[in-house]
Amino acid sequence: MRGRAVLGSLWALALALPATAQDAAAPRAPADAVPPLVVDTRSAGAERGFPPIMTIDQERLFMGSLWGQRVQAEVERRSREIAAENERLASQFAAEEQELTTLRGTLPPEEFRQRADEFDKRVVAVRRERDTVARDLDAQVEQERTAFLRAALPVLAQVMEERGAVVVLDQSAIFVSAQSVDVTGVLIDRINRDIGAGKPVATSGQAAPQPQPQSQPPAAGAASGGPTP
């Protein structure tokens, strides 16, 4: 006797995993969710003592894989770079603001206001650019997760067939279950063996060129403490 195993609920959730490898926020429904995976399974799994239900911990699956570890290392590296650049820009803007504040008493009002307006515009532009850099990193991680889960589908289907499972559930949706139904560790071993770390996913776009603070005194908001990027 053959059954039909449907993975719709699992992979609808799987493709909506958190935006970053360090973020455990609730998943969002993806716009490009793949249709449910249907696998023909045999009753031999039950005869060998395997239960008809399997569960996985999606976060542990990704983070325990060589693929997820590669992505995590890249996220940490890029996050350090972004934080260092943000700090550099903030320090440079603070110095420029202080310089402009010092010049306020010596510059004609119109010239000071012009410099202050130029400073404000550059601060706003840099802040927007830095926000874009952070969003691009989040998008890249989400693309990596989606690619990983798509690549893992055949491995999961193979394990289902071997065990005669008829459904796979995400552990986050389960109140209590027997330990024997959790196949996360099995999948991690299989995926690492068959897929490895994967190749970096090409991003859909690159960050815009970074606006740089200028050496001349700029300034908006200098009198009130001024904006920071």
Whether 164 and 42 have beta carbons less than 8 Å apart is answered as yes
Whether 192 and 68 have beta carbons less than 8 Å apart is answered as no
At 204, the pLDDT band (50, 70, 90 cuts) reads low
Looking at residue 1, its pLDDT comes to 41
At 176, the pLDDT band (50, 70, 90 cuts) reads low
In angstroms and rounded to an integer, the radius of gyration of the C-alpha atoms of the chain is 26
Between residues 172 and 213, the one the model is more confident about: 172
Residue 229 covered by a domain: no
List the domain range (segments joined by +) for residue 97.
53-195
Between residues 197 and 214, the one the model is more confident about: 197
Domain with 91 in it: what CATH number? 3.30.910
Residue 15 covered by a domain: no
Number of domains in the chain: 1
The C-alpha atoms of residue 83 and residue 40 are separated, in whole angstroms, by 49
The C-alpha atoms of residue 143 and residue 156 are separated, in whole angstroms, by 20
Looking at residue 47, its pLDDT comes to 53
Residue 41 covered by a domain: no
Residue 71 covered by a domain: yes
Nearest to 180 by CA among 61, 53, 59, 58: 53
Residue 40 covered by a domain: no
**Considering the entire predicted model, what is its pTM?**
0.63
- Interval 48-60 mean pLDDT: 83
The C-alpha atoms of residue 97 and residue 119 are separated, in whole angstroms, by 8
Looking at residue 180, its pLDDT comes to 64
| Three-state secondary structure of 205-226 | CCCCCCCCCCCCCCCCCCCCCC
- Judged against a pLDDT cut of 70, whether residue 43 lies above it is answered with no
What are 3's two structure tokens? 């059954």
Between residues 80 and 222, the one the model is more confident about: 80
At 11, the pLDDT band (50, 70, 90 cuts) reads very low
91-95, 154-158, 163-167, 186-190: range with lowest mean pLDDT: 163-167
The C-alpha atoms of residue 157 and residue 8 are separated, in whole angstroms, by 13
Torsion angle of C-alpha atoms 130, 132, 138, 140, degrees rounded to 10: -120
Residue 44 covered by a domain: no
Residue 173 covered by a domain: yes
Task: Identify the H or E element spanning 172.
Answer: none
Task: Identify the H or E element spanning 170.
Answer: strand 167-170
Looking at residue 220, its pLDDT comes to 39
Residue 85 covered by a domain: yes
Looking at residue 31, its pLDDT comes to 40
User: What count of other Cβ atoms lies within 10 Å of the Cβ of residue 217?
Assistant: 22
